[in-house]
Amino acid sequence: MDTYSFLRQLADSWVLLAMTLFFLGVIVWAFRPGSAKVHAETASIPFRNEVKPGSVEAPAEERPKTKELQS
């Protein structure tokens, strides 16, 4: 059996099985019962700041310092 035929049979059987099991494992891990809290916390990250950075409402010490470009 030459190398190409061996690798082709390996890819068609065992590698396909391994990839399928890995895919199913990732799906089970993502939707496990304990992950709902983690996903909810991660989804709320963009809404944690009450004041937009750099807005007029933000106190001066919290505003980012910007340098003026000299030409």
pLDDT digits (tens, 9 = 90+) for 37-54: 888 888 888 887 776 666
- Summarize the confidence of residues 59-65 as an average pLDDT: 56
Residue 32 clears pLDDT 60, i.e. is over it: yes
pLDDT above 70 coverage of the chain, percent: 69
Phi then psi for residue 34, to 5 deg, are: -80, -5
Sign of CA dihedral 4, 9, 11, 14: negative
CA distance 52 to 56: 9
Name residues whose C-beta falls within 8 Å of residue 57's C-beta, 6 or more positions apart in sequence.
51
Is the pLDDT at 58 greater than 70, yes or no?
Answer: no
Question: CA-CA distance, 41 to 37, in Å (whole number)?
Answer: 6
